[in-house]
Structure 1
Amino acid sequence: MDRLLICIAFCFGLGYSGFSQNEYTLEPVFPSDNENFSFIKDIPLIWSDSTSVELALKQLVFRFRENGYLLASADNSSWKENKLVADIDPGPQVQWAKIEMDSDDLIFLEGENINLNRWNGKEVFPGEFTELENKILNAAINRGYPFAKIYLDDLEFEDEGLKGTLVLEKGKAFNFGKVRNIDPVNISNRYLQQYLGIEEGEPYSKEVLEKIPVRLRELPFVESKKDPTVTFLGSKAIVNLFLKDKKASRGDAILGYLPRNNSLNPEESQKDLFTLSLMADLNNQLGVGERIYVKFEQLRPQRQELELKGNYPYIFGLPFGANGEFSLYRRDSAFIGIISELGVQYLFSGNNFLKVYWENRTTNLADIDTSKILQQRSLPDQLDTRNTLFGIEWNQQNLNYRFNPRSGWEVKLRTGFGLKKVRENNKILDLAREDFSPQIIYDSLAEQSWQIRVEGQIAKYVPVGVASTIKGSLRLGSILAESDVFRNEQFRLGGNQLLRGFDEENFNATHYGVATLEYRLLLATNSALFAFGDFGFVEDISSQTDNRDFPVGLGAGITFETKVGIFGFSLAVGKEEELGFDLRRVKTHFGYVSLF
């Protein structure tokens, strides 16, 4: 019985690549009646490491089979110093092959994306044969048999064709063992196995392993020094990682200077304003991929906001994470807003997720301008409210470097639907007069009504030249409501975060859109010169207003990294629809970022 080995195992990370300045050469030796095999001339024969030479030999044999030499093989290969010498036996060239498959192999391959009826007992061309060969081997390797082989048995030649039985020799079965990181790193093996999709005891899969380098690049707090390898020990396949910690947490401090000369609002103080923003974004401090976020802002002398967020991934070993958020906002002496949120995230790779959430928004009026209410004989434009929303949020990004990207994109979409309740305020009810009844006005309002809040953001970074990039982004927000929207429910725009060149929270909006075009010259990993334009649309539709504006903000700045952190400086000036740019009111911001 003739028996010819057709393919060796296609394994992942089995060899050791020895990098050296020496050259490694492949020297194929053909029979004396060597033909001019032009189809192999593009295969390089000189490489920088021995493993690449061995792969080149396999590629050479495979190329023969693609061109009709189905019995091609590399015999008696051996290393002579830095040269791999191999005798190449092309065998006869055939135009077709008719193959049968073993019944046990057919059962094993059920459920794979292989149309076996197309191949079994049918004539196939050489290119189709090599396609089938690859599919069968990959199916076996991805089901726990990394050393699977294929060979043709019972060979018969007929005219320009070949008949035979295709046999799959699966070899020893392997299951995944524990993930092993070679160097100490601040991340648990349990988290890595869950994130990489490597379940201990599950069959070995080359497909899972091939995704590891990409998924590791998407983790913000570690980086890989080289590609993973696999150690086969007993019946276990142990994945070896070569990770090191990467700075992914940051602390920010931003000081803003807002000149008040020529203020358009006579009620505003003519004193210059200073704003302060402090933020800490802590990632993986406990080694389980968690995130803790704290932010405090002093936007005006009596206007502060505190934000707290926390994420914990892979609860109970499942690809789900828990999310909680809380914010407290004090707007002068007018009102206090409290937002609390609980969510469950379905986790994708990197920082990407799909979340469902419950959100509660409560506004409590503080000091009430009773004289204004009595004078106007109407309720104020902000009232005590409670909004309960259920929603969904999608976050996806693919950036080459999340802190100072040059290429890539990011998308965020958030939609919540719920009910709003207006709560009566006793201080306002106590203002009742013979000709003024706050209770009647309250009764005229819908006690409960539906409301939808939508926010979206998309950004694209396009590399330009050697060290530049252009960022284009669009941010949108809209409140759709059954009843009037009060001022304390609206979006707040303007300032260093959104719509630069204007005072912090200069605009209240029921609907808005801000398009940004920004050029960045990247000076270093965390340093850049930038110039930008923010082009906005703001629609202020509330219980007592109906205004629209098209503000524009222009500016420039620089960020530069030092041994103690990253410093930033920016200037911006804004223009509203009916007013031009006022260079006497340029907004200045100084920033400091510490990565750790």
Structure 2
Amino acid sequence: MAKILEYRCYLLFICCIACVQVTAQKKYTLHITSTDNKTDLLQALPLQTTFTQKNVCWQYAQQLPALLATRGYISAAIDSIWQTDSTVYLQLFVGEKYVWNQFAVATADWPLLNQLGVYPQTFATKPFNQQKLQQLFEQLIQYFADNGYPFATVGLDSVKLEQGNISAKLHIEKANAYLIDTVIVSGNIKISANFINRYLGINNKDVYRQNKIDDINQRLATLPFLVQYQPYQIEMVNTGAVVRLYLNSRSSNQINALVGFQPANQQLGGKLLLTGEANINLRNPFGNAETLAINWQQLLAKSPRLNLSFQRPYIGHSPLGVTAGFELYKRDSFFITVQGKLGANYAISGKKQLSVFVQWNNTAVLNMDTSYIKITKRLPDIADLATTGIVLQYDFNNTNYRFNPRMGNELQLSTGFASKNIQRNSAVLAIKDEAFNYSSLYDTVKQKTYAVKSKMVAAHYFPLGKQATLKTGVQAAWLQSANYYQNEMYQIGGFKTLRGFDEEGIFTNRYAIGTVEYRYLLAQNGYFFVFTDGGYAAYKSNSTSNSHTYISAGTGISLETKTGIFTIAYALGKRNDVQLDVRQSKIHIGFVSIF
């Protein structure tokens, strides 16, 4: 009895599989005939006639007249269509095929058409293609709208149809030229008209450009200190356009602090380390979109960092802005660095900016290892340095939303050249030994030399569905000099560069880091993410050199607050020559101020 039951179950299973296979293999056929005796012509065309879904077959049949129109059959139309269980029957009126005999264009219009990729041979003797012609019309209308003619019209004139040939003349009516008459701001925002005009690229008496108008909402959305309380309006008066903006101020000044603890270890003497970060950010304090920022942080033991910065865009009626900065950084008891910069930035467009600034840097060794010097008769890989140089920087951002993008690109390139002066350290000069003159160690060092630094940060965002994105990014930097010292090198690792490793725990003179990160958007400025970072870093000094590869992975979440974006991430990293240790995983906490 059990055997019979087993055979029945087996037979039922075979039948189910057979039914599934029959269902999966079912085909639907499109049967096409012509009411004007051109069935042979249809059969010669590369038309699809077999489908796996009936609705797809039906939709394809209804689109055939439009497809034939792109091949010159401009009068093609469906005469009748019906369907049975597995076949869709279509009767088409194909009509006559039309070929361009003449596409006449005024001599003055050819340079513009050439600019759009249209030449005399583009249409000559080619089948008439309504879709291609419509695309040309749309390109021309968009061009004129972006160059002062928002009411331009484009069409065909003197159309002639003769024995399968078509002749026509391109007719362009530009209508009146328009300028920007004025930009009027309503609302309680206190902002200079010069900034609004420059920032939007819409200045009084400028040529009217529709693409600038279309960018208004996106551009204003990136300013944290204002909000549109109703959509902008465009009024066309005589030959001028009045742009009306409705803006209110939005609370954006920031005073905040983050506090944390680093677990006890031998370096800390068995005590917890209080770590933290404090920010004071004032945005638009004087009504010119200025930014004044003060940032203090201590992420490592006895290693505070203080940053001061000031930026103001569009000085006077020029596209130039000014930027200034000051940084003080103390690395434990090893060295202290003071850095300043002053420069100008040029807004090429709303998405591109070029900056140039003078930068000076002074580093002083706090605790010179004289024991090492006495034993080795060599200077250590740390020195008192003074550098002065010039830096050129290019920024590009065409993302859909600067602070939490789903699509687009980010790019920052910078390169700088500086003169470097190695100063004699008083602790070395104070070493006294009758058998050896330690001050002579500096005679073997090239004290006046150079330093070249280049850096790139880039990212691309691939939209996935409606609420997700895939970020791919790269960070790379390179330092070139006649000699190298640890206190002039890049410091990477941690939340902003290589997650899963200690904050600024890796000294390097050249590195490259790649990132792949999946984000699921929770809000305008919030998202859940999983990521992997991988990188290479090299260390080259006057006495040693090495290189390592790094890999890390983790997850985290970014949450929008009233003053910015708070991010917490868990990451586990591994260096190529170190065993993986889950106990060395990191929790990174970050805060991004929205400027």
- Is TM-score (shorter-chain normalized) higher than 0.5? yes
Unaligned 5+ residue runs, structure 1?
1-62, 70-92
Give the equivalent residue in structure 2 for 1:295: 295
Once the two structures are superposed, the pairs formed by residues 52-451 of structure 1 within 5 Å of their partners are: 174-206=178-210, 208-213=212-217, 215-216=219-220, 219=223, 221-222=225-226, 228-243=232-247, 253-261=257-265, 269-350=269-350, 352-451=352-451
Alignment partner of 1:428: what SS? helix
1:316 Cα deviation from its structure 2 partner: 2.9
Alignment partner of 2:471: what SS? strand
State the alpha-carbon separation in 2 of the partners of residues 98 and 218 from structure 1.
Answer: 46
Are the equivalent residues in 2 in contact too, given 1:98–1:163 (CA < 8 A)?
A: yes
Are the equivalent residues in 2 in contact too, given 1:252–1:591 (CA < 8 A)?
A: no
Are the equivalent residues in 2 in contact too, given 1:260–1:585 (CA < 8 A)?
A: no
Are the equivalent residues in 2 in contact too, given 1:98–1:123 (CA < 8 A)?
A: no
Q: Residues 592, 123 of structure 1: CA spacing in aligned structure 2 closer, same or farther, 3 A cutoff?
A: closer
State the alpha-carbon separation in 1 of the partners of residues 388 and 353 from structure 2.
Answer: 23
Higher percent of residues as helix: 2
1:314 Cα deviation from its structure 2 partner: 1.4
Give the equivalent residue in structure 1 for 2:473: 473
State the alpha-carbon separation in 2 of the partners of residues 167 and 315 from structure 1.
Answer: 45
1:557 Cα deviation from its structure 2 partner: 2.9
State the alpha-carbon separation in 1 of the partners of residues 155 and 582 from structure 2.
Answer: 79
State the alpha-carbon separation in 2 of the partners of residues 252 and 334 from structure 1.
Answer: 30
Matched, 1:484 2:487: no
Give the equivalent residue in structure 1 for 2:582: 583
Q: Residues 530, 439 of structure 1: CA spacing in aligned structure 2 closer, same or farther, 3 A cutoff?
A: same
Structure 2 letter corresponding to 1:177 = D
1:393 Cα deviation from its structure 2 partner: 1.1
State the alpha-carbon separation in 2 of the partners of residues 413 and 167 from structure 1.
Answer: 46
- Give deviations 1:331-366, integer Å, cap 9, x for gaps: 223221111112221214446412122221211222
State the alpha-carbon separation in 2 of the partners of residues 497 and 298 from structure 1.
Answer: 15
Alignment partner of 2:529: what SS? strand
Higher normalized contact order (CA 8 Å, seq sep 6+, divided by chain length)? 1
Give the equivalent residue in structure 2 for 1:497: 496
State the alpha-carbon separation in 2 of the partners of residues 559 and 213 from structure 1.
Answer: 25
Alignment partner of 1:551: what SS? strand
Alignment partner of 2:398: what SS? strand
Q: Residues 435, 192 of structure 1: CA spacing in aligned structure 2 closer, same or farther, 3 A cutoff?
A: same
Are the equivalent residues in 2 in contact too, given 1:259–1:586 (CA < 8 A)?
A: no
Give the equivalent residue in structure 2 for 1:552: 551
Are the equivalent residues in 1 in contact too, given 2:388–2:419 (CA < 8 A)?
A: yes
Moved more, 311-320 or 200-209: 200-209
Moved more, 457-466 or 137-146: 137-146
Are the equivalent residues in 1 in contact too, given 2:190–2:287 (CA < 8 A)?
A: yes
Q: Residues 99, 405 of structure 1: CA spacing in aligned structure 2 closer, same or farther, 3 A cutoff?
A: closer
State the alpha-carbon separation in 2 of the partners of residues 372 and 529 from structure 1.
Answer: 49
Alignment partner of 1:394: what SS? strand
- Give deviations 1:237-288, integer Å, cap 9, x for gaps: 2122344556766666444443345x6xxx6634343421223454434332
Structure 2 letter corresponding to 1:194 = R
Q: Residues 461, 112 of structure 1: CA spacing in aligned structure 2 closer, same or farther, 3 A cutoff?
A: closer
1:446 Cα deviation from its structure 2 partner: 0.8
Matched, 1:509 2:508: yes
Q: Residues 472, 273 of structure 1: CA spacing in aligned structure 2 closer, same or farther, 3 A cutoff?
A: farther
Q: Residues 67, 340 of structure 1: CA spacing in aligned structure 2 closer, same or farther, 3 A cutoff?
A: farther
State the alpha-carbon separation in 2 of the partners of residues 527 and 133 from structure 1.
Answer: 42
Q: Residues 193, 583 of structure 1: CA spacing in aligned structure 2 closer, same or farther, 3 A cutoff?
A: same
Are the equivalent residues in 2 in contact too, given 1:470–1:517 (CA < 8 A)?
A: yes
1:97 Cα deviation from its structure 2 partner: 7.7
Are the equivalent residues in 1 in contact too, given 2:494–2:588 (CA < 8 A)?
A: no
Q: Residues 396, 185 of structure 1: CA spacing in aligned structure 2 closer, same or farther, 3 A cutoff?
A: same
Are the equivalent residues in 2 in contact too, given 1:573–1:586 (CA < 8 A)?
A: yes
Alignment partner of 2:182: what SS? coil
Alignment partner of 1:178: what SS? strand
Moved more, 336-345 or 209-218: 209-218
Q: Residues 435, 143 of structure 1: CA spacing in aligned structure 2 closer, same or farther, 3 A cutoff?
A: same
State the alpha-carbon separation in 2 of the partners of residues 284 and 307 from structure 1.
Answer: 19
State the alpha-carbon separation in 2 of the partners of residues 166 and 370 from structure 1.
Answer: 85
Moved more, 267-276 or 443-452: 267-276
State the alpha-carbon separation in 2 of the partners of residues 145 and 157 from structure 1.
Answer: 29
Are the equivalent residues in 2 in contact too, given 1:253–1:591 (CA < 8 A)?
A: no
- Give deviations 1:58-116, integer Å, cap 9, x for gaps: xxxxx9xx9999xxxxxxxxxxxxxxxxxxxxxxx998789797xxxx88x79866799
1:566 Cα deviation from its structure 2 partner: 5.8
Are the equivalent residues in 1 in contact too, given 2:410–2:460 (CA < 8 A)?
A: yes
Alignment partner of 1:374: what SS? helix
State the alpha-carbon separation in 1 of the partners of residues 172 and 473 from structure 2.
Answer: 53
Unaligned 5+ residue runs, structure 2?
1-68, 76-97
Q: Residues 231, 306 of structure 1: CA spacing in aligned structure 2 closer, same or farther, 3 A cutoff?
A: same
- Give deviations 1:494-523, integer Å, cap 9, x for gaps: 233332233333221111222223333333
Give the equivalent residue in structure 1 for 2:539: 540
State the alpha-carbon separation in 2 of the partners of residues 350 and 502 from structure 1.
Answer: 36
Structure 1 letter corresponding to 2:201 = G
Alignment partner of 1:503: what SS? coil
For normalisation by structure 1, the TM-score amounts to 0.69
Alignment partner of 2:288: what SS? coil
Give the equivalent residue in structure 2 for 1:46: none
1:445 Cα deviation from its structure 2 partner: 0.8
State the alpha-carbon separation in 1 of the partners of residues 396 and 415 from structure 2.
Answer: 15
1:305 Cα deviation from its structure 2 partner: 1.0
1:548 Cα deviation from its structure 2 partner: 2.0
1:487 Cα deviation from its structure 2 partner: 1.0
- Give deviations 1:419-450, integer Å, cap 9, x for gaps: 21111223321214222223321111112222
Structure 2 letter corresponding to 1:188 = S
State the alpha-carbon separation in 2 of the partners of residues 594 and 271 from structure 1.
Answer: 31
State the alpha-carbon separation in 1 of the partners of residues 409 and 264 from structure 2.
Answer: 37
Give the equivalent residue in structure 1 for 2:10: none
Give the equivalent residue in structure 2 for 1:453: 453
Are the equivalent residues in 2 in contact too, given 1:570–1:588 (CA < 8 A)?
A: yes
- Identity percentage of aligned residues: 30
Q: Residues 143, 453 of structure 1: CA spacing in aligned structure 2 closer, same or farther, 3 A cutoff?
A: closer
State the alpha-carbon separation in 1 of the partners of residues 155 and 177 from structure 2.
Answer: 19
Structure 2 letter corresponding to 1:519 = Y
Are the equivalent residues in 2 in contact too, given 1:252–1:593 (CA < 8 A)?
A: no
Structure 2 letter corresponding to 1:333 = S
Are the equivalent residues in 2 in contact too, given 1:477–1:511 (CA < 8 A)?
A: yes
Alignment partner of 1:190: what SS? helix
- Give deviations 1:173-213, integer Å, cap 9, x for gaps: 64322212344434332212122332323444445544545
Give the equivalent residue in structure 2 for 1:520: 519
Alignment partner of 1:550: what SS? strand
